[in-house]
Structure 1
């Protein structure tokens, strides 16, 4: 049948988007479930610790900066494709202080959120037939962003620590499958993607891990993309970065670092991100960004440019880390009391909790869109919303389909703690009800 014989214009869709009938993405599925549960029982408040958006406003100095920018004519027009010069200088200064060396603005590209920044990285370097190594569990946006370039994803596990089934662990208990990593590298592999601090684990890759990974990247002439959007939320004594490894300084010449003003200033809706790397690589990121969206919202760029020096002056990032350490302390107590193990977060704002001790009723009824996912964590997430009133995310969504069943993550739920203390306190009260199901 010729193309002209087809009567349905929808048949002309990109075959990459072969959507399953009725299949909802994870965020729609969980949020709609929560909304319906709230509507079904208006007297019971559903506490949403699912998606990683903040329940509170950015700091006042950042909001004021937006207002000031909106009243200046030049910031209501197109920004340069490279980025607002004021913001470029501030981001370069931010990395200069973090790296302990001078970072010029030629090593920075402003993007429309970190996600579009990574999309620009992928489109700037990948072509059909290329391969990219991604560690699983992974942030789900990586996969379509890579595959839409025509490149193929090769998955390497960060091994689930079996002791998490019975006891609380830390980030270093989650280990890269190094043998699988080395065997995955071929002539087609062009890039490796890491996420540190890691979503959903909360792991920060230590210097030894980064060095070992960096040696492979250099040996095989690869580009390392380091997604560091939670860079200002680390609870360890230091935050190692691939671009600052003293033991492997040449790694910085092939590292592209991803940052996010949205994560840094509790302003995910502003969609301001940035990529840092050698100028020889950044120019290709700029070329792709220019074609994807041309420029990032001008008033919000200016607001972030004004917010950074204020953040330094007020010790905003350090104080935020202290606030989050306290939020974790408040939240994990209920799991300690119940004897439910979790991964202690080195950074970020997620907590991965093992709920294998929780016994749901055997005859509990689940809707088809939950059953069709085929894994226990989706049932757990649904049951928690309906019966406990707390929203979490099933983490098997962050591994490939063939690895979901039988994976230890099936017993886990990811909770986001980027919420007001009152919301976390309400969640703790509700989660305490789990004692009746142990």
Structure 2
């Protein structure tokens, strides 16, 4: 028997497989399932972006390798778009690298700076790709929780009510700590870290000379004031690698165009890792994203995108008010966490072993697919076993879908009244 590498040999069936397979099986048996689980958009990018992609495919240079650091036009467009936020001119030649999606950018940052035995602090709940990416670089993951609101099972709470204990964070720092990961706006909570919270984290990193990976892929979807980590102080800026995503910005998650922004000495080594991981990223879609960034302000896209997503969120969450189910009101992004502690599943309900062995939220997710016809993600997938109890009554719903789909989902979800 061929022996696989340990990093992939012991993987349990992941949440995406469980939820999507359950939804597909239910659909095959004749049920209509509305999938609000995985955060892919239910509609196309804006037409000016789609047109740019089509036109790029007709150009010879856009169908060949891009420079490994990314097409200059896209790096220049990113510099033009983000320099006003950073308060200084970003050098497209030395401070930006284009990656094959934000996830590959994150892996490149870990590969560029993490060696065997180095520790990386991640906040729970966490985007699930952080953990295997850190481990593949040889690092050890250290977890610090974001504590849920005390009244989250009885009252609607703001995502800001999920809190980080800075003393707890500092206790997690050791001489081996190499990096802290911040996800802002946060997936799955929707929390936007305040300037004061970010300063607290940043000052600890400056004190202990720790790098910051600031995952800001939802940076265009914020409904309260949003602070970028790298803009806090020059000292914090010099330790920060910022992650961005065209897929999240322009509704095109399948395009796999992301980027890293940081000081030249941080980008240099992240870019070196990126070169060895995939060499370069998709040329015509880089060109299309560049054009999208150049035209977005003229099209009024950023404000309309934010307004439309907040509208979807608010209209969808009306169903929880109807049902009396408390939820976490997000400050950013397009996910909502709903507390399902009031939902009572039949005691004799049969779950397959790979679901019955998992926390209650997996069973809730399965139950909603089979009995209600709506798929949602169980967030304990984003926790360690030690802390998963804090999330076992929640489910995560993605609202980045057409309005008629969300309305149909609301109609199905009203049937939860029968189980309360």
1:401 aligns to 2:401 (yes or no): no
- The match for 1:149 among 137, 162, 165 is 137
3-state DSSP class of the match of 1:201? coil
* Aligned counterpart, 1:4: none
1:58 aligns to 2:54 (yes or no): no
1:285 aligns to 2:299 (yes or no): no
* Aligned counterpart, 1:353: 338
- The match for 1:332 among 308, 317, 320 is 317
CA distance in 2, matches of 1:255, 1:150: 21
3-state DSSP class of the match of 2:145? strand
CA distance in 2, matches of 1:210, 1:356: 32
1:392 aligns to 2:392 (yes or no): no
Q: Deviations over 1:187-217 (max 9, x none)?
A: 1001000101100000000001001111100
> Pairwise mapping of residues 316-327 of structure 1 onto structure 2 (< 5 A)?
316-327=301-312
1:379 aligns to 2:363 (yes or no): yes
* Aligned counterpart, 1:31: 20
CA distance in 2, matches of 1:329, 1:186: 42
- Note the C-alpha offset of 1:103: 1.3
* Aligned counterpart, 1:312: 297
> Pairwise mapping of residues 21-420 of structure 1 onto structure 2 (< 5 A)?
23-40=12-29, 42=30, 44-105=31-92, 106-236=94-224, 238-245=225-232, 248-373=233-358, 375-404=359-388, 407-420=389-402
8 Å CA contact 2:160, 2:331 repeated in 1: no
Q: Deviations over 1:14-70 (max 9, x none)?
A: 1122325xx311101100000111111x2x421100000011111111111111111
CA distance in 2, matches of 1:286, 1:326: 38
- Note the C-alpha offset of 1:372: 2.1
CA distance in 2, matches of 1:180, 1:211: 16
Q: Which runs of 5+ in 1 are unaligned?
A: 1-7
8 Å CA contact 2:245, 2:258 repeated in 1: yes
Count the aligned residue pairs: 419
CA distance in 1, matches of 2:153, 2:221: 26
Q: Deviations over 1:247-270 (max 9, x none)?
A: x33211111000000110000100
CA distance in 2, matches of 1:140, 1:49: 18
- Note the C-alpha offset of 1:164: 0.2
CA distance in 2, matches of 1:436, 1:16: 44
1:437 aligns to 2:419 (yes or no): yes
1:17 aligns to 2:8 (yes or no): yes
8 Å CA contact 1:82, 1:295 repeated in 2: yes
* Aligned counterpart, 2:407: 425
**TM-score, scaled to structure 2:** 0.98
- Note the C-alpha offset of 1:429: 0.5
8 Å CA contact 2:187, 2:333 repeated in 1: yes
> What value does the CA root-mean-square deviation take over the aligned residues?
1.0
* Aligned counterpart, 1:5: none
8 Å CA contact 2:210, 2:239 repeated in 1: yes
- Note the C-alpha offset of 1:101: 2.1
8 Å CA contact 1:360, 1:437 repeated in 2: yes
CA distance in 2, matches of 1:72, 1:55: 29
CA distance in 2, matches of 1:289, 1:312: 30
- Note the C-alpha offset of 1:408: 2.7
Q: Which runs of 5+ in 2 are unaligned?
A: none
**TM-score, scaled to structure 1:** 0.94
